[in-house]
Amino acid sequence: MNVLILTGAGISAESGIPTFRDANGLWEGHAVEEVATPQGFARNPELVQEFYNQRRRALLNPEILPNAAHVALAEFERDHLEHGRGDFLLVTQNIDNLHQRAGSQNVLAMHGQLLQARCTYTEEVFDWTEDLSVDTPHPEDPDNDDLRGCLRPNVVWFGEMPIGLASIEKAATQADLFLAIGTSGVVYPAAGIVAQTPPHCRRIEVNLGDTPASSAFDETIRGSASIEIPKLLN
């Protein structure tokens, strides 16, 4: 049985990381599109860097930990692979590292990672835990003033190409079980993965409520991920 999991912000909500489009879906009066587009970054790099600085600092707070849903997915994967039951891929739209910290191995972070920075000139990616600013020097060429402020968060904004689309499509077309957890189903191409799964695939959506994608699923489980995922996978 080939398993494909898609996770969104809802799975990390109970770890204390706010979602995008729920009650607190705006950030200090700014729509997510304003702080998550290349145009927004070009217009106001300070604002966008500060948006991600705050989220990076929050993620590094030792109180932010994987929850029971992250752990159940990691345990399921271990068991699935150990017993040779088929392929397993966990695609996450989240830029936190909670799946990796819970022990998941085959994680594809399609919208990038908050604890990485990318040079906008060379495309080099660096592990990054500090604040970024329009003055941050290039880590390998700190005296080069032309490169000052060249780093941006290594995340995928609207209009940019998500990571690993070919691998995601391959896993979707070969999936026997597709599980979408805590995602609002409005952001593409993630929201279109369910439509790439073959007719025999069992498609399950786990979410607090209905989404625009719900009708594409065979089963919908309504409840919080930290309760429903361990129940479903154990």
Binding region for ligand BJW (CB under 6 A): 8-10, 13-14, 19-22, 32, 36, 93, 95, 111, 155-162, 182-184, 186-189, 207-209, 211, 224-225
Minimum distance of ligand BJW from residue 157's CB (angstroms): 6
Nearer to ligand BJW, 81 or 221 (CB): 221
Whole-angstrom distance, CA of residue 139 vs CA of residue 39 = 25
Minimum distance of ligand BJW from residue 24's CB (angstroms): 10
Q: Strand 177-181 to strand 202-207: parallel, antiparallel, or no bridges (unpaired)? A: parallel
Minimum distance of ligand BJW from residue 82's CB (angstroms): 27
**Residue of closest CB approach to ligand BJW:** 10
Whole-angstrom distance, CA of residue 214 vs CA of residue 185 = 8
What's the alpha-carbon Rg for the chain, to the nearest Å?
18
Q: Give me the sign of the Cα torsion angle 217, 222, 223, 228.
A: negative
> Which of these is catalytic: 70, 80, 99, 111?
111
Q: Give me the sign of the Cα torsion angle 103, 74, 97, 28.
A: negative
Look at residues 210, 205, 199 and name the one whose alpha carbon lies nearest to residue 172: 199
Nearer to ligand BJW, 15 or 197 (CB): 15
Nearer to ligand BJW, 88 or 153 (CB): 153
**Is 10 annotated to bind ligand?**
yes
What is the residue whose two structure tokens read 């490169």? 147
User: Is residue 111 among the annotated active site residues?
Assistant: yes
Minimum distance of ligand BJW from residue 41's CB (angstroms): 11
**Is 95 annotated to bind ligand?**
yes
Structural contact between residues 114 and 131, judged by C-beta atoms closer than 8 angstroms: no
Nearer to ligand BJW, 147 or 216 (CB): 216
**Is 14 annotated to bind ligand?**
yes
Three-class DSSP category at 202? strand
Three-class DSSP category at 124? coil
**Is 211 annotated to bind ligand?**
no
**Known binding positions for NAD(+):** 8-27, 93-96, 182-184, 207-209, 225
The catalytic site residues sit at 111
**Known binding positions for substrate:** 52, 55
